[in-house]
Structure 1
């Protein structure tokens, strides 16, 4: 149903803002002063710092797995449930380092990609292959917001029921990932048509149902092989463990990861305004279709961790490490001021953004 909504929305003659007398997203010109300032004011903070990345990722994973063990082992249901929530939030932060892996220079953090995959990506059935080579398409100048963008849906132009369906489908993601890695990928070794289908349709963390992934090549293809092998062996081991431990540990773990996936899907709902109707956009238009939720919003680091509270700024500076985005935002805000294009992408929090999105879906078209 959502796939048909995408088709209908992208065939609509105009977006909601255009109907209200504002220019369409695709017609917004670039603010060259803002783009120049974003580059010039942040050169000295553009290097990823291993002393920040490694402890943050390792601590998030350690807390997440310890809390997950509590959720599985504790007898008190309330204590187990609380432990499960802590696990979901901590593992959510650990998982979102996959976003950083797609942008940092390959030589910036030696061993970090391997370490993250070994400790987080493969155990949670989400190796970095599912995002690398995909997310960068979302940042391509001519792809963002179009039918070729794997991470864009015109949600603001769709029906109101699309939003809860979009969020709740994430709950099934861990179960789908388990089937993919334990069954479909191994079967694809002996059934080439299935292998091609799984890669094209089910190997990317994409939300655009029309996206089809191209076959991997070169060094990336070799990395994919080892990551798929490791994830499949782990997935089969998880299923085999039920013969010794029963189904409860695995179901609890999958439920925790389901909550993690739901948190990410909620964040995705407010990462952009989702108001583009399918045409190519300028960098400034892409920025204004994206969202910053800067301080003093207190809960934002929980639902938009690892720098994702500055998602609009990230679209101006995709390679800026997450630990520098707060300082970059402060510099640009001070330099450009409040009555500027830069300030227009900042919002107060999750609730106002959700209210705006829901209101957009209810506008007559």
Structure 2
């Protein structure tokens, strides 16, 4: 997830026939039948996980700012980046859980994490659900899809490194563009369409918010704007170092998330509508026994392919759902086809695919 990119890497000419498969109805039935009894979001898990992650993040960033030791700054900054990254990933859960399932959690998350990190939940709500629509996944209408495996080799490092600029871009978006947009309507429209969604597709244009959602957008956007202005003003009160330290930590979290995004899918679709099974196989699970994926794909995101089968399944139930499906469907099944060993293997596969696009 990154704010709408302004860089437009062009897909190279495809070197393969688009991989399409018919739906595996047995797998889809198993996903429905074997997960009965799961699917209820547990408030104690959500609140505890989010509050601890945010608390560790704020403690880490405070130590990194005040410490006079470079080693302590680096260690505290790393801890803070990982903790904030986990806390921020609850934005993904907010787009899928029923609005009545966790009373107060959306507001609490926005006040404690979303607005302070300048990524309020409106930037993902109403956007990510398009990515899950049967006829829009992987097409030009999908805000979260690019055929990265079919692009030029330089597209991959550019895709990751541009995330370093995200914290600064968010300060400009909320601290400069939003206030100016209040008095310049065309700028307001431009900012909303281009810079109000956590998307990677540069062609995506966001529609104006409506109904109750428009009300949530107003207070979240105003809150984020006030905070962004305060951050800018802090330079004149406390100097540039505290803000620079915070931005460096958040840049690291953004790069880590961009790496996760890079391996969340195989990115091999050329824009055609895909079956549910094809979408599943274009997505990625990185199941246990490895522990590293819990760090770089937290809050259930290591089961991203499974999530595409059951988008409303709470993150804390995905490990059990995976165990049931893997045990029932077994080796050589379609389900096993979405399981991958780790980030390095996935990056290597995508990079190798881009090498074939040089001609």
Write the deviation string for residues 120-146 of structure 1: whole angstroms up to 9, x where unpaired. Answer: 000000000100000000000011000
Task: Report the Cα distance in structure 1 between the residues aligned to 2:6 and 2:162, rounded to whole angstroms.
Answer: 11
Task: Report the Cα distance in structure 1 between the residues aligned to 2:63 and 2:28, rounded to whole angstroms.
Answer: 47
Give the Å deviation of 1:15.
Answer: 5.5
In the alignment, is residue 160 of structure 1 matched against residue 126 of structure 2? no
**Structure-2 change in CA distance of 1:32 and 1:5 (3 Å):** same
Gaps in structure 2 of 5+ consecutive residues: none
Structure 1 match to 2:138: 145
Give the Å deviation of 1:2.
Answer: 8.6
In the alignment, is residue 184 of structure 1 matched against residue 177 of structure 2? yes
Q: Is the 2:283–2:304 Cα contact (8 Å) retained in structure 1?
A: yes
Q: Which of 289, 304, 308 lines up with 2:301 in the alignment? A: 308
Task: Report the Cα distance in structure 2 between the residues aligned to 1:269 and 1:210, rounded to whole angstroms.
Answer: 18
Write the deviation string for residues 308-353 of structure 1: whole angstroms up to 9, x where unpaired. Answer: 0000000000000000000000000011111110000001111111
Structure 1 match to 2:202: 209
Structure 2 match to 1:66: 59
In the alignment, is residue 281 of structure 1 matched against residue 260 of structure 2? no
Q: Is the 1:15–1:277 Cα contact (8 Å) retained in structure 2?
A: no
Q: Secondary structure at the match of 1:45?
A: coil
In the alignment, is residue 336 of structure 1 matched against residue 329 of structure 2? yes
Residues 173-322 of structure 1 mapped to structure 2, 5 A cutoff: 173-322=166-315
Q: Is the 2:95–2:128 Cα contact (8 Å) retained in structure 1?
A: yes
Q: Secondary structure at the match of 1:211?
A: coil
Structure 1 match to 2:71: 78
Q: Secondary structure at the match of 1:44?
A: coil
**Structure-2 change in CA distance of 1:2 and 1:117 (3 Å):** closer
Task: Report the Cα distance in structure 2 between the residues aligned to 1:356 and 1:39, rounded to whole angstroms.
Answer: 31
Q: Secondary structure at the match of 2:170?
A: helix
Residues 90-169 of structure 1 mapped to structure 2, 5 A cutoff: 90-169=83-162
Task: Report the Cα distance in structure 1 between the residues aligned to 2:307 and 2:73, rounded to whole angstroms.
Answer: 36
In the alignment, is residue 170 of structure 1 matched against residue 163 of structure 2? yes
Give the Å deviation of 1:363.
Answer: 1.5
Task: Report the Cα distance in structure 2 between the residues aligned to 1:160 and 1:118, rounded to whole angstroms.
Answer: 40
Answer 1 or 2: which has greater helix percent: 1
**Structure-2 change in CA distance of 1:111 and 1:216 (3 Å):** same
Task: Report the Cα distance in structure 2 between the residues aligned to 1:5 and 1:83, rounded to whole angstroms.
Answer: 35
Q: Is the 1:38–1:332 Cα contact (8 Å) retained in structure 2?
A: yes
Q: Is the 2:15–2:356 Cα contact (8 Å) retained in structure 1?
A: no
Aligned length: 354
Structure 1 match to 2:39: 46
Task: Report the Cα distance in structure 1 between the residues aligned to 2:167 and 2:15, rounded to whole angstroms.
Answer: 34
Q: Secondary structure at the match of 2:37?
A: helix
Bigger CA drift: 184-193 or 238-247? 238-247
Q: Secondary structure at the match of 2:231?
A: helix
Task: Report the Cα distance in structure 2 between the residues aligned to 1:100 and 1:301, rounded to whole angstroms.
Answer: 16
- Return the TM-score normalized by structure 2: 0.97
Give the Å deviation of 1:240.
Answer: 1.3
Task: Report the Cα distance in structure 2 between the residues aligned to 1:283 and 1:2, rounded to whole angstroms.
Answer: 30
Structure 2 match to 1:347: 340
